[in-house]
Chains A and B, each alone.
Chain A
Amino acid sequence: MLEIRGLSKSFGGVKATDNVSLDFPDGSLTAVIGPNGAGKSTFFNLITGALRPDSGQILLNGVDMAGKTPPEIVRHGIGRAFQVASIFPSLTVEETMLAAVCADQRRAGVMHRRFPLAETRDRAEHAMELLGLASKRNRTAATLSHGDQKLLDIALALVLEPKVLLLDEPTAGMGTEERWRMIDKVRELWEKQKITVVFIEHDMDIVFKIAPQIVVLCYGRILATGTPDAIRSNEAVIEAYLGSDDHAGAVA
């Protein structure tokens, strides 16, 4: 269970995250939406330790993550993928997975043995198969297509066997068809792995279709939380976000 309590972060005078409290029960799938600059990415950066919160708690099964470094938080079980695929361009898909498993097994500093370690292989193999990357194992990450790079980024988070998986716009920069394929993949992973998944998404069709729970952020605050139906009929949301011209089509 991931519980956020009174989380706040300001940049100068701007409150990017303003007293946010949220619960993400084990095995839940939650979409975070909100207009540009709503503080969605800041919210993720706070949870994963990329930014240090000004105040508040981030409790993963009762342990406070606030103030811990990214490696510490990852080891506690919060994995993340990035809006722009964050990968290791010169490593092959297989090397990337094996190296990530090594890190998770606290073997990143092992020097007396050769890479890859036999005990890391099964997990790497499993992650590659889950994300459909097994056939591209010997390709260097830089040569993969945009979509495959996003998948590799997710695989990097998933191979660590996190309790909570944060996906920052898994469909960013994709065409419509590719978006749906990606989001089906996300849903499939969530169902198969039975982990807590939180993702940021701009496309309202996608959000309303697959997310059982939605959080709407606006100016760093929680505007609303609830099921797709509740969000769709929430007046504050309609006024602040969905009602704007940009997304009118998406809601209708």
Chain B
Amino acid sequence: MTELQAGQGAQPLAPPRIDARPQRYRDVLIALVAFVLLALLPFIFGSKQLLDFVIRCAAYGLFATSLNLLVGYTGLISFGHGMFFGLGAYGFGLMMQKAGVAIPVAFVATLAMTFVVAVVIGAICVRLKEIYFAFVTLAFQMLIHSTILSWQSLTGGDQGLRGGIPRPPFLGIDLSNHLHLYIASCALLVIGLFLMRQIAQSPFGYTLRMIRDNATRASFIGIDVWRAKLTIFVLAALFAATGGMIMALFVSGAYPEFAYWTISGEGIFINMLGGVTTFLGPMVGTVLLLILNDTVTRLTEYHGIVLGIVILFFAIGLRKGLMDFVVEWFAQRRGEGRG
């Protein structure tokens, strides 16, 4: 194709082009700074509670952000994403308890198992349209939950995996040491978020946005919609399983609640709280939900009602998550300033 001469005169008027490379360096920098800050936290505040809080944020944050890759970026509303959180926790716990392998081996093996399960379940689910996708993912969640409950000899049934998960040291890292566990959780969180950010800002991430906006049109520009949906379904499952593994390490066990549908519900809740239009929305939502959970349960036994009211406020009052609201507010202010 020949270069078009027309329109060259208008070039200086055009806004600067988006450039990919500085954005990526910026994200690497943000990730490093975030990790250093998190790593310094224990030396500034000695509070064990605070570190516990951050570890839980890491587990749920990875889970919720991976759910947003489905909900916010691809338009796949999964009500069963929690099954991979549960699978991660149980897979890892069982691997450590029964096979007695090194932690990195169990980590990779759990991811491999999650991968296989997610491919099978995803292959069935991503063909389905909106509400059916939601229902069938929920059904698989219940299937996995009841399997865990009824397979007592392996999973301990409703008692969960008890007796603690052995955490033998590896490469000088001892995850039975609270500080080591904290640093490892932060590292996993930052790496996980960075990788997901990378996916979201890659050409594949834009393929997902196109599918969300108009899947039919996407197929008419040559995109294999089913394959792209399955890919992100499986990737999101891997990050959710990582969250589950952090949780298993944290509580040194795994419980059926980790695989119950309420976990998926909380994931959706977090996304509504934080907002799905910004990458960090779910992370903000996670922190909000955990703070709410911790404070409200301390104040009243009816914490369900309080949380319900809060979600209603976001859903009906703001009609968007907190980060969506903040970003829009800044955009508006900037717009006014220019005008």
Contacts and interface: CB of A to CB of B under 8 A. Distances in A.
A103 B223 contact: yes
B299 interface: no
A104 B222 CA distance: 7
B221 A115 contact: no
Contact of A160 (B207, B209, B222, B231): B222
Contacts of A151: none
A134 interface: yes
Interface string B216-241: 11111111110110010000000000
B197 to A, nearest CB: 10
A129 B231 contact: no
A69 B1 contact: no
Interface in B8-36: 10, 13-15, 17-18, 20-21, 23-24
Interface stretch (B43-51, B78-86, B198-206, B247-255): B198-206
A146 interface: no
Contact of B206 (A75, A86, A91, A161): A91
Given A80-B220, A108-B228, A116-B20, A87 B214 contact: yes
A201 B17 CA distance: 37
B210 interface: yes
Contact of A156 (B23, B203, B221): B221
A113 to B, nearest CB: 6
Interface of A: 48, 50, 69-71, 74-75, 79-80, 82, 86-91, 94-95, 98-100, 102-104, 107-118, 121-123, 126, 129-130, 134-135, 137-138, 156-157, 160-161
Given A86-B214, A95-B206, A103-B222, A109 B231 contact: yes
23 contacts: A50-B220, A74-B222, A86-B214, A86-B216, A87-B214, A91-B209, A99-B206, A99-B210, A103-B222, A107-B203, A109-B207, A109-B231, A110-B202, A111-B205, A114-B21, A114-B24, A114-B201, A114-B202, A118-B20, A123-B1, A126-B1, A135-B13, A157-B221
A94 B18 contact: yes
A88 B217 contact: yes
A104 B210 CA distance: 14
Of the listed residues A80, A104, A113, the one surrounded by the most CB atoms of chain B closer than 10 A to its CB is A113
Nearest to B18: A116
Contact of A134 (B3, B14, B206, B231): B14
A86 B199 CA distance: 25
Contacts of B14: 134-135, 137
Size band of the interface chain B makes with A: 35 or more
A119 to B, nearest CB: 11
A133 to B, nearest CB: 10
Given A90-B213, A126-B4, A129-B4, A110 B203 contact: yes
B203 A102 contact: yes
A117 to B, nearest CB: 6
Contacts of B219: 69-71
A107 B206 CA distance: 11
Nearest to B15: A138
B99 interface: no
Of the listed residues B17, B221, B227, B231, the one surrounded by the most CB atoms of chain A closer than 10 A to its CB is B221
Given A95-B206, A109-B231, A110-B203, A74 B217 contact: no
Given A109-B207, A111-B204, 14 more contacts: A71-B219, A74-B220, A87-B217, A88-B213, A91-B210, A99-B209, A103-B223, A104-B222, A111-B205, A113-B202, A114-B21, A114-B23, A122-B3, A138-B15
A110 B203 CA distance: 6
A107 B24 CA distance: 18
Contacts of A134: 7, 10, 14
A108 B214 contact: no
Nearest to A70: B219
A104 B203 contact: no
A103 B24 contact: no
Given A86-B216, A87-B214, A134-B7, A109 B221 contact: no
Given A103-B207, A115-B202, A71 B223 contact: yes
B6 interface: yes
